[in-house]
Structure 1
Amino acid sequence: MASEDSLPVLKILVIGPSGAGKSSLLLRYCDDQFDPESSTATIGIDFKTKKLAVHGKGYRLNIFDTAGQERYRTLSTSYYRGAHGVIVVYDISNRKSFLSLDRWIEEARSNASENAVIYLVGTKLDKVAPGGTRAVSLEEAKAFAASQEAGYCEVSAKTRTNIKQPFVDVVGEIVQRPQLLSGELAKRTASSPLDLNAGGSQASSSYCSC
C-alpha cells in the first residue's frame, strides 16, 4: 500500500439512532475491540482513521461517529460537509430503530455531498441467531434499502460477523463515482479532516490501520 500521505482521503459518516450500535461497529472495525459493558452514548462526534485497500488501491478513511441523541443533531449536521459516504445504522432487534431510518436518510441526503453513497447496516445480528426474535426481517430490510437505492448488510460487533463489509462496499461504490473524488470536494476533505471542533461539538480521535 502507498504511503499514508499519498493515499486518497475519503470521509465516511456513521449515523443512526442512539443505541443502534454505531460506536461498537466502529470500535470493532478499527481497533478489533468489543466492550459488552459499555453503554455510554457518544457525545457530539467521535473520530477514527483507517487505511483500507479496495481492488488493490489504498485509501485513508476519516470515519466520524455521530451522536444519535436529538440534542446533538444540530451539532452533527456540519460534519456532513464533504462526506463521500454515509453509513446509516439501526438495531435489527429494535423495530423503532428501523422505523427511524427514513428521517436519518433524509437528513443525510440533505446535508452530505451530492451523489454521496448511502449504505444501511443492521447491527446486533448476534441477538437474533440462533433462536432469537427479529424485530425486522431480512427481506423487509433489503426491500427498504433497495427502495432507497442503498446497499445493505447485517453485522455483529460482538462476533465480528461482516464487520468489514459495510466499509469495503461503501469505498467500492465511492470509487465508481468519480465526481465525488474530483475538484474542490476532494481538496476540502483532504485539507480539513481533523476539524473536530466545528459547531462546538465534543470529539475524540484515534488512528488505526488494517
Structure 2
Amino acid sequence: MLLGDSAVGKTCVLVRFKDGAFLGGNFIATVGIDFRNKVVTVDNMKIKLQMWDTAGQERFRSVTHAYYRDAQGLRCSWACHKVTCAIVFVQSDMAAERVITHEEGEKLAKEYGVPFMETSAKTGVNVELAFQAIARELKHRNIQQPHDPKFKIHDYIESQKQKSNCCGGLM
C-alpha cells in the first residue's frame, strides 16, 4: 500500500514503477483506492505484487483505513508494525519545495526502525529499489528456511544505494 498526504506523488511513483512512465502534471487525484499489479523477480523467483494506491485527501481516510488491515507491505510516512514498511519521501528532485528535510526523514525512520529513502518518479531514482526491497522482504519472510540468514531490509537498501552511487544509479 502507498500511503501519504494528497499530491505527494504516490500515484506518480506507482506508475513509474509499473509502467516506467512519468505522469508529470497529467493525472487525476486518486479517489478512494486504486491498485496495479506487477510481477518482479527476486532471486530467480517470480513474485506478483499487488500495489494499492490510497487517496491522500482527508475525506477518504475512513475508506482507506479499512484496507490497511490485510496489507503485508507499506510505503508510508508513519510507524508500521507486523508489515514490511519503508518510509519513502517522494519528489527528491524538487528540493526547493520540500517540507521535510532529508535529515528529518532519516530521524523519523530511525525512530520507527524502518528504512528510509528518497525517490523521484520524474527521474526514476530509487523507485525500483523501493519496491524491490519490499518484494525481497516479503519473499524472505514467507519462505525463509530455519537455517537461512535473516534478510535485513535496511542492509539491502543501503548496499543497493551504495552500488548506485558508484555504478551509475538505480532506476
TM-score tier, shorter chain, comes to: 0.7 to 0.9
Q: Per-residue displacement from partner, 1:143-177 (whole Å, max 9, x unpaired)? A: 21111111111111111111111111112222332
Change in CA separation of 1:147 and 1:49 when aligned onto 2, cut-off 3 Å: same
CA contact (8 A) 1:21 1:123 kept: yes
CA contact (8 A) 1:15 1:68 kept: yes
| Aligned partner of 1:173 among 137, 141, 156 | 137
Paired AA for residue 133 in structure 2: D
| Structure 2 residue 90 is the aligned partner of structure 1 residue 123 | yes
Q: Distance in 2 between matches of 1:133 and 1:38?
A: 19
Q: Distance in 1 between matches of 2:123 and 2:137?
A: 26
| Aligned partner of 1:163 among 123, 127, 132 | 127
Q: Distance in 1 between matches of 2:45 and 2:98?
A: 37
| Structure 2 residue 12 is the aligned partner of structure 1 residue 45 | no
Matched residue SS, 1:76: helix
CA RMSD of aligned residues (A): 2.0
| Structure 2, unpaired ranges of 5+ | 144-171
CA contact (8 A) 1:20 1:123 kept: yes
Q: CA deviation at 1:137?
A: 2.7
CA contact (8 A) 1:153 1:165 kept: no
Paired AA for residue 122 in structure 1: F
| Aligned partner of 1:62 among 50, 54, 78 | 50
Q: Distance in 2 between matches of 1:14 and 1:133?
A: 21
Q: CA deviation at 1:55?
A: 2.2
| Structure 1, unpaired ranges of 5+ | 1-12, 89-100, 110-114, 180-210
TM-score (norm 2): 0.76
Paired AA for residue 145 in structure 1: A
Paired AA for residue 25 in structure 1: V
> Which one scores higher on RCO, CA 8 angstroms, separation ≥ 6?
1
Matched residue SS, 1:46: strand
Q: Per-residue displacement from partner, 1:102-159 (whole Å, max 9, x unpaired)? A: 4xx3xx55xxxxx21111111111112xxx4653332321121111111111111111
Q: Tell me the percent identity.
A: 31
Q: Distance in 2 between matches of 1:162 and 1:118?
A: 15
The size of the alignment, in residue pairs, is 144
Structure 1 window deviating more from structure 2 (42-51 vs 136-145): it is 136-145
Change in CA separation of 1:163 and 1:144 when aligned onto 2, cut-off 3 Å: same
Paired AA for residue 109 in structure 2: A
Change in CA separation of 1:134 and 1:66 when aligned onto 2, cut-off 3 Å: closer
Q: Distance in 1 between matches of 2:132 and 2:69?
A: 22
